[in-house]
A and B are shown apart, each in its own frame.
Chain A
Amino acid sequence: MVIRDLGLATAERGEVSVTRTPDGTLEVHLAGAWRLRGALPTLDALEHELAAAPPPRAITFETHDVASWDSSLLMFLVRVREESERRGVRVDPRGLPGGVARLLELAEVVPERKDARGKQTPPTWLERVGLGAMAASDATWEFLSFLGEVTVAMGHVLRGRARVRISDLLVFMQEAGAQALPIVSLISFLVGTILAFVGAIQLEQFAAQIYVADAVGIGMAREMGAMMTAIVMAGRTGAAYAAQLGSMTVTQEIEALRTMGISPIEFLVLPRMIALCLMMPLLCLYSDLLGILGGFAVGRGMLGISARVYFTQTFNAVDLGDVAGGVFKASVYGILIAVAGCLRGLQSGRSASAVGEATTSAVVTGIVLVICACGIFAVTFYILGI
């Protein structure tokens, strides 16, 4: 900020010299170009003179040699004033350029509002643990009550008391379905090859390479197809839901819905959740298939297994129960991801960074929920003998 520029020949930086006049005042002589870019001159000389006995009566300024100035001069003068006030020496601003004197006046005219900064003492270690525990229990409670609200809203839809807009639903199905195919293809194919590699190295030791087909087929159908699709969709669609609903919170669109008596859950959450719940099983089936193809690529290229043998082996290994279990899990993961995304979006604060946090949190929550559910399914399926 160049407030005034005299355009004279300039020294590189502001200079200060202090002289004591016979009548007991300190004359501060300022010169050169005062620029924020350069370093600020120190107060050493002035402090030295202020400390020397007898104390000066006042401080005056001589500024004829100042070529140009900006906030750096102001900063310097504020320091001079603070220092001299501390020692009870009067500052005479008359020698300063008019603009500087006025700015200096502005800087001191309004007393600081004591309540503006708030009374924040950093919490102690124990308090932080307590606050963290309370926040965690609140978050769990919020998630459960949101899940409850969604269930009630779903009940309304099923009983015909509310309805989901079909046009919205179709758009979300397209976004969460067909448009997700490329990334799901890539990830699933690679996961299939990875499974095959890991299996191949172990099975080769027993000359049982053909069982790579079993490992990949069962692995994809029972667990990895649903799991990898879920993780891709949490990052892709869960994040998108949180960002959409979060920015709608910022622009008060959600409030507008609420005051109009339109439930954001019925209007915004249900179509997204139903779309993901319907599309996830399809994506999972597709992912199973691509994973098996990935396994075949390794089986063919590395182990020399023929297509007919590989696929026959796969068909014999994987039964309908494995595939159905995976597809069912995918559907549940879809619900969890949509609920996590929508909840975080609706909880978002009203700023750009809050939407960012909501999005991050949606992905983390979504993936954590999916992994937890996966563990619960594994135990349940084992106990039920599926």
Chain B
Amino acid sequence: MGTSTNRIDQNAHITVRNLTMAFGDFVLMRDIDFTVRRHDVFVIMGGSGSGKSTLLRHMLGLIEPAKGNIFYGEENFTAADPDERQRMLRRCGVLYQSGALWTSMTLADNVGLPLEEFTELSPSDVREVASLKLALVGLKGFEDFYPSEISGGMQKRAALARAMALDPEILFFDEPSAGLDPITSRHLDDLILALRESLGATIVVVTHELASIFTIATNSVFLDAETRTMGAVGPPKELLQHSNPRVREFLTRGGTEAEGHPA
């Protein structure tokens, strides 16, 4: 799968090239072009309805692009066949907006299922690894709880434990702080940073929470719902000086002063 190696940054983990997202005739976003480098915490930001989550679903192969390509490392994900895609995705973990824990299974089974499917571990080892992953997100002792029996914040953390089950190289987060109170979402941010430090994973986060964006992001892309293309790419703190007024407006909650950010 050596797809035009020269065009792709050696350090790139994910490259989105000239992506157009459309539903039938309706073009949601066009000409999206950015690179997620290894060990980045890359934030996809934008207003409601700008297609942040849709972009994430494109990157996971859940929706086919109308135009353009997505590369994982140097491999073209968009042009790959289903088996190859599956192999590439096996290096990824996803935390869904709603958590999306499998409600008919206990937390240990939720975390254990990918281990059962894709490793040679014995059932007792699977259970032990699952307990460890749950302990990492502060859920030691909750192995036999069902998702409906724990709080929303705990569900998010359990879903994070599941996303990390196979020690992924890339972790995707879809609106991690949706539905969480400010303190819980702050803790989740800290957890994300800690995981990046210790696991060395690349992290892609979809969010519109300014506090999170400035705390965790090393790089970002801004999707502009009005022009239907990306407004800017760069670290959020640099984007405060960006020439596009809508980018500045978004990053300062509509304030005109660039200094108004909660750094």
Residues of A near any B CB (own CB < 8 A): 248, 251-253, 255-262
Contacts and interface: CB of A to CB of B under 8 A. Distances in A.
B109 to A, nearest CB: 10
Most chain B CB atoms below 10 A, which of A252, A255, A259 = A259
Nearest to B95: A256
A259 B97 CA distance: 14
B43 interface: no
A259 B103 contact: no
26 contacts: A248-B102, A248-B103, A251-B98, A251-B100, A252-B97, A252-B100, A253-B100, A253-B102, A253-B103, A255-B100, A256-B94, A256-B96, A256-B100, A256-B101, A259-B60, A259-B61, A259-B62, A259-B89, A259-B92, A259-B94, A260-B89, A260-B94, A260-B114, A261-B89, A261-B90, A262-B113
Nearest to A262: B117
B23 interface: no
A258 B82 CA distance: 11
Contacts of A248: 102-103
Contacts of B62: 255, 258-259
A252 B114 contact: no
Contacts of A257: 102
A255 B159 CA distance: 13
A129 to B, nearest CB: 21
From DSSP, what is the main secondary structure of chain A's interface residues? helix
B177 to A, nearest CB: 17
Interface string B149-166: 000000000000010000
Nearest to B92: A259
B86 interface: yes
Contacts of A252: 96-98, 100
A252 B95 CA distance: 10
B91 to A, nearest CB: 10
A255 B90 contact: no
Given A253-B103, A255-B62, A256-B102, A262 B97 contact: no
A243 to B, nearest CB: 13
B117 A261 contact: yes
A248 B147 CA distance: 13
A251 B117 CA distance: 22
A262 B86 CA distance: 9
Contacts of A255: 57, 62, 96, 100
A258 B103 CA distance: 16
B171 to A, nearest CB: 12
Contacts of A258: 62
A261 B86 contact: yes
B211 to A, nearest CB: 25
Contacts of B114: 260, 262
A257 B114 CA distance: 9
What 3 A-B pairs come out closest when comparing CB atoms?
A: A252-B100, A256-B100, A261-B86
A224 B162 CA distance: 48
B94 A251 contact: no
A171 to B, nearest CB: 9
Most chain A CB atoms below 10 A, which of B94, B113, B117, B118 = B117
Contact of A251 (B90, B103, B162): B103
A248 B96 CA distance: 13
